[in-house]
């Protein structure tokens, strides 16, 4: 029994380690914080995810993970839009658009949690992440329909919005993300299934050999008329002596003798080898991604050997095992073919040439910030007419035929696409304590007042005028790590006009 207990003990320790890792991960998620409106204090306060309840009004910043299924009631966008990244939910990396409930988009500037007195009627919790129907019943009796376009799902990431506010509809295990999570299931590798089958065959052979030995022992003892003629029998001096009983005892004797046929220590050896393989996978420098500063993580410790048995990979869609990476190869303008293929990269390989770009800054760009062109494209450009404007003596700008084609080409490239342009980094003015940041201080004011102060700037208040309970040294509690929006617009660059900032 000792070898069996040892094998089971090693397996139990490994499973306990996996359960502990899962427990730590769950605890980290449950203890994550978000900002929930508190009626007593009259502001948003930090609240743990596990304390978020249905009906709470939640305030989220850009790049913040959504803690529950939330109905969107307010967005910093003028059109009442925001975007979410659902990679943690369905694996898709493209952003999905969500919009404020009809009737609240125009009121987003004056929305306040205390003013929300409507009732939400919606579907019961279900696992269909792309299906949602319901109504918002206002006190006046008006019913406004809501769909999945107004719902922000848990585990998604907020994008392209300074902040949003919404009411929690599903929380905890009733969220669509949790209902789609059926829990961890035990996975067996091909090697483990093969080993289990061989162990069963070893047990069958062991029982067969022990049965043959027990039967032979009983027949052999039956051939003797007197038991005293046979030595080393169990009931030699007992009246209960019987060849059948002696055969039964011999069966278990052979079990003890031949049990070495079952390789129990093989389980321990394989478990130790798996742990060593997982360690080398984690510490492999070739599997480290410098861009995301992340290394490979092995989540299933019992099937790492399956990596060496993969022969074919069937990918269901782009984004699962492949990457949507658009690289400029060539273009044709007015019959001229401009190839931007790097000479050091073969046709079937990825173009890993990094072209440095820069955003506008008051300082002039350095030589390191310049764009580099391959020799072929540079020769093609040198043969073109660089005279983009013809000096005709009048104010109207007249372009050459070649220049007009170039301008039309780049104009179409800039407009005929679905790219979402973000002119300024998204910045939420509310810090983690529910206070709005302004000039290094924190004020318990509304964003409308702060917006009015930004549009009509006045002299900053002296530090002594700030109540001690509202003073902060720096906005270190902000949940959004993006830089502050610049106060001055950049100067026109390369002859292009810049549109005024949004208000």
- Say whether pLDDT at 492 is over 70: no
- The residues, any chain, with a CB within 8 Å of residue 281's CB and separated by 6 or more, are 287, 296, 298, 304
Closest Cα to residue 298, out of 282, 320, 276? 282
Between CA 204 and CA 212 the distance in angstroms is 12
* Interval 178-198 mean pLDDT: 83
Paired tokens of 308: 């060496």
Instruction: Say how many CA atoms lie within 13 Å of 484 toward its Cβ.
Output: 14
Question: Which one is predicted more confidently, 401 or 166?
Answer: 166
Query: Which pLDDT score is estimated for 438?
Result: 57
Q: Which residue has the higher pLDDT, 371 or 241?
A: 241
Q: pLDDT, tens digit, for every residue of 236-292?
A: 555 566 778 888 888 999 998 998 888 888 888 888 888 888 888 888 888 888 887
Distance of CA 166 to the CA centre of its chain: 22
Q: What is the DSSP string of 320-386?
A: TSS-------EEEETTEEEE---TTS-TTS---PPPP-----SSPP-GGGS----HHHHHHHHTS--
What's the N-to-C CA distance of the chain in angstroms? 77
Mean local confidence (pLDDT), 361-367: 43
Reference 160, options 104, 106, 79; nearest CA is 79
Answer yes or no: is pLDDT of 65 > 90: yes
Largest CA distance in the chain: 137
The token duo for 199 is 């162990």
Output the pLDDT for position 357.
35
Q: Where are the domains of the chain?
A: 33-179, 188-263, 330-415, 436-470
What is the rounded average pLDDT for all residues in the chain? Answer: 73
Q: pLDDT at residue 310 above 80?
A: yes
The whole-number average pLDDT for the span 386-415 is: 70
pLDDT class for 217, splitting at 50, 70, 90?
confident
Q: What angle do CA 107, 111, 116 make, to 5 degrees?
A: 110
Residue 395 binned pLDDT confidence (cut-offs 50, 70, 90): low
How deeply is 105 buried, as exposed, middle or buried, from its count of CB atoms within 10 A (0-12, 13-18, 19+)?
Answer: buried
Best-predicted range by mean pLDDT among 7-16, 256-265, 423-432, 459-468?
256-265
Of 9-13, 75-79, 485-489, the range with the highest mean pLDDT is 75-79
What is the C-alpha separation between 272 and 269, in angstroms, rounded? Answer: 5
Residue the block writes with tokens 């249905």? 54
- What average pLDDT does this structure show over 84-89? 87
DSSP state of 75: E
> Per DSSP, what are the bridge partners of residue 496?
493
Lowest mean pLDDT among 109-113, 177-181, 249-253: 109-113
Residue 162 has pLDDT above 80, yes or no: yes
Q: How far is CA 331 from CA 152, 334, 339, 377, 452, in A?
A: 40, 10, 7, 11, 47
What confidence tier does 66 reach under pLDDT thresholds 50, 70, 90? very high
Active site residue 316: yes
Give the integer Cα–Cα distance in Å for 457 and 97.
Answer: 34
From the list 56, 74, 90, the residue with the least C-alpha distance to 172 is: 56
DSSP 313: -
Paired tokens of 268? 């321990």
The whole-number average pLDDT for the span 190-212 is 92
Distance CA 3, CA 332 (A): 74
199-224: burial string, b at 16+ Cβ within 10 Å, e else: beeeeeebeeebeebbeebbeebeee
- Residue 468: predicted pLDDT: 39
- Annotated catalytic residue: which of 78, 198, 238, 316? 316
CA distance 426 to 485: 7
Predicted pLDDT of residue 226: 65
CB 74 within 8 A of CB 108: yes
Cα 400 off chain centre by: 50
Residue corresponding to tokens 């500037």: 109
Return the closest-CA partner of residue 222 out of 204, 247, 195: 247
Q: Which two tokens stand for residue 417?
A: 């696409």
490 is written with which tokens?
Answer: 């950049």
Distance CA 378, CA 369 (A): 18
Distance CA 84, CA 463 (A): 39
Is residue 133 classed as helix, strand or coil in its secondary structure? Answer: strand
pLDDT band at residue 323 using 50, 70 and 90 as cut-offs: low
CA atoms within 13 A of residue 41's CA, in its CB half-sphere: 14
**Mean pLDDT of all residues in 378-387:** 54
426 falls in which pLDDT band (50, 70, 90)?
A: low
Residue 311 clears pLDDT 90, i.e. is over it: no
Provide the token pair at 278.
Answer: 């997982």
Nearest one of 222, 223, 221 to 233, comparing CA atoms: 221
Bridge partners, residue 333, by sequence: 336
Angle 19-20-24 from CA coordinates, rounded to 5° = 120
Torsion of the alpha carbons at 330, 332, 337 and 340, rounded to the nearest 10: -20
pLDDT bin (cut points 50, 70, 90) of residue 181 is confident
Long-range contacts of 209-216 (CB under 8 A, 24+ apart): 209/254, 209/258, 210/251, 210/252, 210/254, 210/255, 210/258, 211/251, 213/250, 213/251, 213/254, 214/247, 214/248, 214/250, 214/251, 214/254, 215/247
Please give the CATH topology (third level) of the domain spanning 33-179.
Answer: 2.70.150
Which has the higher per-residue pLDDT, 383 or 57? 57
């Amino acid at each position: 029994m000792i070898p069996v207990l040892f094998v089971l003990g090693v397996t139990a320790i490994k499973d306990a380690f996996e359960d502990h890792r899962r427990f730590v991960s769950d605890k980290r998620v449950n203890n994550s914080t978000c900002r929930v409106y508190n009626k007593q204090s009259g502001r948003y306060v930090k609240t743990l995810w596990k304390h978020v309840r249905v009906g709470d009004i939640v305030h989220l910043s850009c790049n913040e993970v959504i803690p529950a299924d939330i109905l969107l009631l307010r967005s910093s966008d003028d059109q009442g839009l925001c975007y979410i990244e659902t990679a943690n939910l369905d694996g898709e990396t493209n952003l999905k658009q969500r919009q404020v409930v009809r009737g609240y988009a125009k009121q987003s500037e004056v929305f306040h949690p205390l003013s929300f007195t409507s009732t939400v009627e919606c579907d019961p919790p279900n696992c269909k992440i792309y299906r949602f129907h319901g109504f918002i019943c206002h006190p006046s009796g008006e019913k406004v329909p809501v769909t999945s376009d107004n719902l922000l799902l848990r585990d998604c990431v907020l994008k392209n919005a300074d902040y949003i506010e919404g009411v929690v509809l599903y929380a905890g295990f009733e969220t669509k993300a949790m209902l789609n999570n059926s829990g961890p299931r035990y996975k067996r590798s091909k090697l483990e299934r093969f080993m289990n089958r061989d162990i069963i065959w070893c047990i069958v052979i062991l029982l067969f050999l022990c049965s043959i030995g027990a039967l032979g022992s009983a027949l052999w003892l039956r051939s003797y008329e007197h038991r005293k003629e046979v030595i080393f029998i169990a009931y030699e001096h007992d009246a209960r002596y019987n060849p059948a009983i002696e055969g039964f005892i011999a069966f278990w004797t052979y079990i003890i003798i031949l049990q070495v046929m079952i390789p129990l220590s093989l389980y321990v050896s394989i478990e130790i080898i798996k742990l060593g393989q997982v360690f080398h996978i984690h510490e492999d420098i070739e599997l480290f991604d410098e861009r995301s500063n992340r290394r490979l993580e092995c989540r299933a410790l019992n099937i790492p050997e399956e990596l060496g048995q993969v022969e074919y990979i069937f990918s269901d869609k782009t984004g699962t095992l492949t990457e949507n990476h658009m690289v400029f190869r060539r273009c044709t303008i007015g019959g001229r073919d401009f190839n931007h293929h790097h000479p050091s990269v073969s046709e079937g390989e990825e173009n890993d040439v990094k072209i440095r770009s820069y955003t506008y800054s008051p300082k002039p760009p350095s030589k390191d910030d310049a764009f580099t062109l391959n020799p072929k494209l540079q020769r093609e450009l040198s043969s073109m007419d660089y005279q983009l404007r013809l000096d005709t003596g009048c104010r109207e700008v007249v372009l050459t035929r070649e220049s007009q084609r170039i301008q039309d080409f780049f104009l179409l490239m800039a407009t005929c696409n679905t790219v979402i342009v973000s002119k300024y980094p998204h910045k939420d003015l509310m810090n983690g304590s529910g206070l709005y940041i302004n000039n290094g201080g924190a004020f318990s004011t509304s964003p409308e007042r702060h917006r009015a102060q930004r549009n009509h700037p006045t002299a900053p208040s002296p530090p002594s005028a700030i109540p001690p309970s509202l003073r902060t040294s720096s906005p270190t509690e902000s949940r959004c790590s993006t830089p502050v929006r610049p106060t001055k617009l950049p100067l026109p660059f390369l002859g292009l006009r810049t549109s005024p900032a949004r208000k």
